[in-house]
Amino acid sequence: MMTAPLKNSGPTTVEVALGDRAYDIVIGRDQLGSLGSRIAALRPGARTAIVTDRTVAKHWLAQIEASLAQAGIAHSHIAVDEGEGSKSYAGFAQVCEALIAAKVERNDLVIALGGGVVGDLAGFAAAAVRRGVDFVQVPTSLLAQVDSSVGGKTGINSPQGKNLVGAFHQPVLVIADTAVLDTLSPRQFRAGYAEVAKYGVLGDAAFFAWLEANHAEIFSGGAAREHAIATSCRAKAAIVARDERENGERALLNLGHTFGHALEAATGFSDRLFHGEGVSVGMVLAAQLSAQLGMIADDDATRVQRHLADVGLPTRLQDIAGFAQEGLADADALMALMAQDKKVKRGKLTFILLRAIGQAVISSDVDPATVRDFLARKLAQ
C-alpha cells in the first residue's frame, strides 16, 4: 500500500541483499560529503580513482575530492566526454589505461561519479582492470539513481547495439544524493522519470496511481522526489536480490527497453534520443502491443501513454527528432535492430508485456510478423 511520503531529516538506506556481496544504497539530500567517511569505514587504507565526465566534474568533483581528502583517502581522477559516445571501445580503453596509470590495485576503489554512461563505463573498467577492482556508484542523474547505478550491470555499446559488451559487477556502495538532481536540465530529469514510472507500470499499480497524482512535486523537489527514488530503488533491489544475473524475473526491468534500445541504435546513440526517452516510447509501444494481443484493455495502454505525455516525455515514434526524415521510419530496419537485443534467445525476440498496469510478464512467443505489422501501423499514424 502506498502512503504519502514523510519528511525526514536523515537519509534513507536501502539494502541490496546479495549475501556476502550485499551493499547499501544511501538516498537523501546533501550526502556527497559523507562519501569519504563511508569509504574509510568500508575499505580502510584503500586509495581511490574517480571516473567522471567533464560536465559533472565542474559541479561536483571538488566536493567529492574534499570529502576524500578530509578522510585521508588518496585519490586521482579521469574525466571523459559527456554522453553516450563515451560508452565505446575507445572510451573503455581510455578509462582502463588511466586506472592502470594511476596504479589502482585490486584492493583499491574506483568511484563512478556521473550519470548512467559514467556508471556503466567505470563499472565495466573496474570489472576488467586487474580482473576486478571494487567500485562505488555516486549517480548524479535521476535515471542513474533509480536504475543504472543499482544491480551491477556494467558495459559499453557496440556499433551494432546497446550494452552488448559488458559484465555483471556489483558496486560496494551507492550514494544517491538527491540535491545533485537540482542541476539537471528539465529534459534530463524527465528522461530519468521514465524509469521511475516503469517501476509502477511493471510491478506496483498503487505506486503508478501515486505517481499520476504526485508527479508535479517529484519534478519540483521535496519529499515526493525522495519517496519516488527510494520506492524505485527498493523495487529494483528486491528483483536483483532474487535474480541477480537475469535468468528470469529481472528481465521485467527491461519493460520498454526492447523497443527503446532499437530506437537508440536507430538514432545513433545520440542526444536526439536520451535513454529514458527511448524507454518512454518503448513502454507505450509495449502497452499498446499488449492491448493489441488482448492482454490488457485499450484504456490501460492509454493511461500509460497519457501519464508519460503529461510529464512531457515522448510517447510516439513520431515524437523522436528527425526520425522520419532520416529514413528510419522503417519497420524492417527496427526489427533488424531488435534482433540484436540481449534478450533474444535462439533467434526469438523476448518482449516484456503487460497483463495489467502493475503486472508485467515475460513473453518469448510473440510472432515477429505481428510485431512488424504493429510497428508499420504505428509508423504510419
Give the residue among 151, 187, 181 at the shortest CA–CA distance from 169: 151
Catalytic residue among 43, 190, 261, 378: 261
d(CA 277, CA 306): 15
Catalytic residue among 87, 169, 215, 250: 250
Q: Distance of alpha carbon 340 from its chain centroid, rounded?
A: 19
Catalytic residue list contains 131? yes
d(CA 151, CA 281): 24
Catalytic residue among 7, 131, 345, 346: 131
d(CA 169, CA 135): 9
What amino acid is encoded at 275 in this protein? H
Catalytic residue list contains 215? no
Catalytic residue list contains 153? yes
Catalytic residue among 162, 190, 275, 378: 275
Are residues 138 and 65 in contact, defined by beta-carbon separation less than 8 angstroms?
Answer: no
Catalytic residue list contains 275? yes
Catalytic residue among 244, 246, 264, 277: 246
Catalytic residue list contains 195? yes
User: Which three cell numbers, joined as nine digits, stand for 210?
Assistant: 501515486
d(CA 76, CA 95): 12
- For helices 186-203 and 223-242, the axis angle rounded to 10 degrees is 50
d(CA 248, CA 185): 35
Catalytic residue among 75, 244, 254, 307: 254
Phi, psi (degrees; rounded to nearest 5) at 19: 60, -130
Cα dihedral across residues 214, 215, 216, 220: positive or negative? positive
Catalytic residue list contains 257? yes
d(CA 52, CA 64): 11
Catalytic residue list contains 58? no
Q: Could you tell me the CA-to-CA distances from 338 to 98, 161, 364 in Å, in that order?
A: 34, 9, 13
Catalytic residue list contains 77? no
Catalytic residue among 195, 226, 244, 277: 195
Catalytic residue list contains 84? no
Phi, psi (degrees; rounded to nearest 5) at 219: -70, -35
d(CA 59, CA 140): 10
Catalytic residue list contains 250? yes
The number of residues making up the chain comes to: 381
**Residues with active-site annotation:** 131, 153, 195, 236, 246, 250, 254, 257, 261, 275
